[in-house]
Structure 1
Amino acid sequence: GNGKFAEWKMTGRDKIDFYPDVYVGRLACRNSYEVEKIVQKIITYETTTYGKDWFKKMVGIGGDTFPDPSDPYYDGELSILESKDYMEEVGVETTTLFTSDNTLTGPDDIINAVSQGCGWLNFEGHGNPMSWANHPPYDGDTWIGIDVTNFHKFSNTGMYPVCMIGGCHNSQFNVSILNLLKFGEIKDIYYKSEWSPESFGWWIVRMADKGAIASIGNTGLGYGAIGDNDDDGIPDTLEFYGGFIDGEFFRVYAEEGKDILGETHGTTLTNYIMKFPPMNDQIDAKTVEEWVLLGDPSLKIGGYPS
């Protein structure tokens, strides 16, 4: 071997099965202060969430992810509606923030909805390490969303959602403001927002007394499908790649009853691998590899009864 895990080249590829043997999550703390605050946040969640009305609420945020004139679907909004349908099976009510009906017009709409309390938070759109956004219908030039500089406005103390982030690079590793010192790469680093002090996916979790209890997102470029190219009457955005795996997480919780966070995450990965064998398609392989949990895998979703 050459020390490169899961290498995929024209001349050959490493053979791996991708199935999760253990449930893995990361608490990407950089100092003892962050450790102390996130541990206290987890304890608070598991001991106070059970039976609370706010846990039975979800905020779903989306738009027209791929505003192709030939595509009749608002991809991000469809993904939110799919998760809404699954969560209704277990009594969760969803507040939707959509670009198509002007309920999503900027970051304050997201801040206000989350600050009222929710047990679930679902973003479906585009991203980078610093921000998430989506488009109004058929308007690829307009971006509406939120970035890490807005996070301090959250005021949802004691009401921490499990957060799904559909978008590219939102949970990217090794981002740091110190990347600005790499002068030879400065244009690329600045454009890609790799100078964010911490990634979007971790920042929303590690905040003390606000934000999310855990997040799931992509460490790299995410993938989606548009249209209905297989002519089965189901939008391809729900059937393949990131659109499928994000929706499958909510189905696994609602229909398979997996309520330990790492098991919910791991079962979703297993189901994806069974449906789309990663060794047959490079994009399926990457979809599985980059979809990471930033949180405690032993977390009891919804907390324990006292």
Structure 2
Amino acid sequence: MGKKRMNILLCCILLTSICAVSSHAVHSDVYTFLVITPAEFLEELTPLISHKASHGISTKIVTLEDISAGIFFPSTGRDAAEKIKYFIKNAKETWATTHVMLVGGKDHIPTRFTRTCFFGENGSDLFISYPSDLYYADLYFSNGSFCSWDSNNDSLFADKNRSGYLDSVDLFPDVCIGRLLTNEESEVQIVVDKIITYENTTADQPWFNTLIVCGADDARSLLIELSFPLLLKRFGYPVFEGEYLGNSAAKILPGFSAKKIYGSGLLRPSIKGLTITNINTAINEGAGFLMFNGHGSPDCAILTNFPFMKNIWLPLPHRYTSSDVVSLTNGYKLPIALFGGCNCGDFNASQAPIAWKFIAHENGGAIASVACTAGAVMPLGSLCTETLHGHMLMRMFSSYAEGTETIGALWNSSITTYLNDHDAVDLGDAFSMQNWRHTLANHYALEQWTLFGDPTLKIGGYP
């Protein structure tokens, strides 16, 4: 009997040890990079795993079907989008995940739409909705509790009206998130090839140390431009906003050769004029960064005014559109493209907005982009760099100059630094109060600021 009891005791000890080891194995897995995709793109994404591993980035690819079935973590959430957000939260807490990539457009990956209020005609409220991937990155409130973006449980997310915030949101991104806006397997294959080739071959290439900036004069009325500093109670002066943003970026990156393609260049020979030919010639020669500043749309990267002539639109001979992107031949000399105009990343209005067209283009284009999914907001005049999207654009460059290495971290920094910059936030609040079109401009600007591309992308490639 004693021997039998001893055997039972030993079996119990052995089983306990096995369970402990198994439990430890599950929770000791570390996946820095989480890729969430429909199953149909799985095969095309697989080469990323070994490529990222060769550079020390552990990668886990999870399908939407895995999340729904609760394969790795319990399936929690009111709908498909919230289940993804809870999965990301569990991955961060269990796998130490820091970077997340969503693969697919709104028809492939559940998308969270947020809502804000504009002043409509006759003072009425005009509500608009727009996609926000920041929803998936903003996991916690400052106290560590889950941030659902629907604190009043009415199934409207990050909801706002002209009197204030109806939902409490934190806005600080807890992971770096990007999206491949792919619609078919061949696109995934193209983009994965571009990522792998860029990271493996770009280092020490002289073309990388080039910054291309495109812009002109965004204000069609000097009177309105002069009124902004008075209304916002800040010192400011009239400028050609697109050119001012470009010059500011060039000062932040003194080690880069700035190719300035400006509206004023049509009047002075020392600067390239803002034409489609000049833009594409510069891109085809290769660059590390590319910035467009002006009005935009889902199919237009830049549309702006000829200086002093509000009825002449640039770039010549017509606005820069997706049809101009597909004629690029820069191969693997790929810039990171930043868009300061409205709706250049609006994947609700278009399956392939121009910010994505640059990335999906097989013969060149860009390696990643950051753009707005709704209307861009910034003051006119020299205050354009001090708050809202102009500030966020400048922070992208500043973060790189300070040593940030991945595009996802640049995106994260542009939001986090903004929220910690009380002057920028206060000026954004003042803009909200004085501009007849916008309410709660800070939240509106941050929620729609979207990264298209691999958030772990090593800027400039690996040595």
What is the TM-score normalised by the length of structure 2? 0.57
2:420 aligned counterpart, secondary structure: helix
1:76 aligned counterpart, secondary structure: helix
1:165-204 CA-to-partner distances (Å, cap 9, x unmatched) read: 110000001234xxxxxxxxxxxxxxxxxxxx62010011
8 Å CA contact retained: 1:67, 1:74: no
Rounded to whole Å, the distance in 2 between the matches of 1:38 and 1:63 is 31
Rounded to whole Å, the distance in 2 between the matches of 1:117 and 1:141 is 33
Residue 447 of structure 2 is matched in structure 1 by: 289
How far the C-alpha of 1:114 sits from its partner, in A, is 0.6
How far the C-alpha of 1:11 sits from its partner, in A, is 7.2
Residue 130 of structure 1 is matched in structure 2 by: 299
How far the C-alpha of 1:12 sits from its partner, in A, is 5.0
Q: What is the Cα-based RMSD across aligned positions, in Å?
A: 1.7
Rounded to whole Å, the distance in 2 between the matches of 1:98 and 1:12 is 39
2:258 aligned counterpart, secondary structure: strand
Rounded to whole Å, the distance in 2 between the matches of 1:12 and 1:248 is 26
Aligned length: 275
Residue 74 of structure 1 is matched in structure 2 by: 240
Q: Does 1:3 align with 2:150?
A: no
What amino acid does structure 2 have at the position aligned with 1:141?
N
C-alpha distance 158-12 of structure 1, shift in aligned 2 (>3 A) = closer
Q: Which has the larger radius of gyration?
A: 2
Q: Does 1:24 align with 2:177?
A: yes
How far the C-alpha of 1:104 sits from its partner, in A, is 2.8
Rounded to whole Å, the distance in 2 between the matches of 1:62 and 1:148 is 18
8 Å CA contact retained: 2:328, 2:363: no
Give the one of 213, 223, 244 matched to 2:377. 223
Residue 63 of structure 1 is matched in structure 2 by: 216
1:89-134 CA-to-partner distances (Å, cap 9, x unmatched) read: xx11110000012123421111111111111101111100001221
Q: Does 1:100 align with 2:264?
A: yes
Once superposed, which parts of structure 1, at least 4 consecutive aligned residues long, lie more than 3 Å away?
276-281
Residue 165 of structure 1 is matched in structure 2 by: 339
Rounded to whole Å, the distance in 1 between the matches of 2:379 and 2:165 is 27
Residue 187 of structure 1 is matched in structure 2 by: none
Rounded to whole Å, the distance in 2 between the matches of 1:244 and 1:109 is 27
C-alpha distance 2-74 of structure 1, shift in aligned 2 (>3 A) = same
Structure 1 residue runs of 5 or longer lacking an equivalent are: 177-196, 228-234
Structure 2 residue runs of 5 or longer lacking an equivalent are: 1-152, 226-237, 267-271, 433-439
What is the TM-score normalised by the length of structure 1? 0.86
Q: Does 1:274 align with 2:444?
A: no
1:26-76 CA-to-partner distances (Å, cap 9, x unmatched) read: 001000000000000000000000000000011110100113224431011
C-alpha distance 49-69 of structure 1, shift in aligned 2 (>3 A) = same
Rounded to whole Å, the distance in 2 between the matches of 1:242 and 1:125 is 12
Residue 207 of structure 1 is matched in structure 2 by: 361
**Percent identity over paired residues:** 29
Rounded to whole Å, the distance in 2 between the matches of 1:260 and 1:116 is 23
Higher relative contact order (CA 8 A, sep 6+): 1
Rounded to whole Å, the distance in 1 between the matches of 2:296 and 2:207 is 27
Rounded to whole Å, the distance in 1 between the matches of 2:252 and 2:164 is 42
Residue 330 of structure 2 is matched in structure 1 by: 156
Residue 410 of structure 2 is matched in structure 1 by: 264
Give the one of 242, 249, 252 matched to 1:86. 252
Rounded to whole Å, the distance in 2 between the matches of 1:148 and 1:283 is 28
